[in-house]
Structures are given as structure tokens and as C-alpha cells.
Amino acid sequence: MSALPPHLRDRILAAARAEPSPTRPVYLRRVALVVGLSLACSLLLFFGVGGIQLGDRPAAYVGALGLAWGLLAGGLLAVTLGRKASPLGPRPELLVAVTFAAPTLLGTLVLLGKWIWPQTVECDGPNNHDGRCFFFAVAFALPPLAAWIWSRRGRIVEHVPLHAAAFGSVTGSFGALLITLRCTFANLSHLFLGHVLPVIVVSVVASLVASRTLRLSRT
């Protein structure tokens, strides 16, 4: 029989006592601070490049798209962050669903907006704006993604790439929301290339980067 050796209890408890670890209230305060700073970075950049700009777009179009996009990102964030407070996080199929739902639903909202406000077809611009919007959407998404990676480093036990991809999709949606409020061009190909594609790219990058940094590490 593999009976538990009696000396192990003292050894393990002594090792734990010797190593400081933050309690949950301390950790939550730190996370709140870091996430707050990261969002401030994104918003500073957003307002630094001009903030909300309507251009020729109807205000109702921008407001509705921004609100729907924000609610979607918030909903996906809630799904990604927790499953009944389990430290193991959401089930893998939920993470996969979030990863794919974000760009799919954002694209659907773009099409829906175009259907409700067809006059936005007129809000066209030069093709080289695709790359600029792509760049800024990714830049807006990176600070919160970095904050999340910092807060979860060495903590995720299972399905590390899936966790990272799902959170990358959420922060990518946040970046897409900001660039949609900022960018005055509303033709379909631009919205897909400059606003929705970054969500997929941030998700893939997050998955690749986080695979090494987030996994629970043995010392």
C-alpha cells in the first residue's frame, strides 16, 4: 500500500511557510492596478491618435456598432474569466467557442450595420488605411493582453494555448472596438481587413506567446 509517509506533512508545510505567496485579496488588488494601468495605456493611445471620430458616418451607426461591439467583448470576457469560480478556468470547448465567436460575431455586426445604414458605403477612404487601422487595433489590444499574461503567468494548469487564444480574442475585440470608434472609413473590405482581422491575429499571437509563459512551472 502507498501509505502517506508521516514526515512529508511537516516537510511540505515548512516549505510552504518558507516561501511567501500573495493572498487572494492582495493578488486581486495587484491585478486591478495592472489591468487599470493597461486600459489607461490603451485609452491614452486611443485619445492620442484622435479619440472618437464620426467623419461622414451616421452617429447612430457609430453608437450602435460601438455599443454592440462593447457588449460582445464584455460578454466574451465574462465567459473567459470564469466557470463557477473554478481555478481551472472555463471548459476547453467554451474557450474554443470564444476564440471563434469573437471575429465571427464582430463580422456579423459589421454586415448588420451595413444593412441597417447602407449610406455608410459612401464613407470610403484610400486603401492604405487598412494597414494603419490594423496596426492601431493590435496596439490598442496589446496592453490588456500583456496585463492578463502577467496576471496568469505560471498559473494555468490545463489548455494553456486555448486560454490565451480566447483572451487574445477578447482583447482583440477591445482593440477593434476602439479602432471602429476612431476610424471614419466604413467600407466592408476595410472593416474586415483593418478592424476584424486584428482580432484573429491577436488571438493567434497570444496563443503562441502564452504557451511558454503561462504554463504552470515546476521548480
- Kindly list the residues in this chain that would bind other proteins in the complex (CB under 8 A): 1-5, 8-9, 11-13, 15-17, 19, 21-28, 84-88, 91-92, 154-155, 157-159, 216, 218-219
| 215 SS3 class | strand
Of the two residues 31 and 49, which places its CB atom closer to other proteins in the complex?
31
CB of 89 to other proteins, least distance (A): 9
Of the two residues 16 and 116, which places its CB atom closer to other proteins in the complex?
16
Of the two residues 17 and 212, which places its CB atom closer to other proteins in the complex?
17
CB of 165 to other proteins, least distance (A): 15
Q: What angle do CA 86, 88, 90 make, to 5 degrees?
A: 80
CB of 207 to other proteins, least distance (A): 17
| 148 SS3 class | helix
Of the two residues 118 and 218, which places its CB atom closer to other proteins in the complex?
218
The answer to whether 202 touches 172, Cβ cutoff 8 Å, is yes
CB of 15 to other proteins, least distance (A): 6
Give 32's Cβ-side CA count (13 Å radius): 6
Q: What angle do CA 87, 88, 89 make, to 5 degrees?
A: 90
CB of 8 to other proteins, least distance (A): 6
Cα distances (Å, whole numbers) of residue 192 to 98, 133, 171, 185, 199 = 18, 11, 17, 12, 10
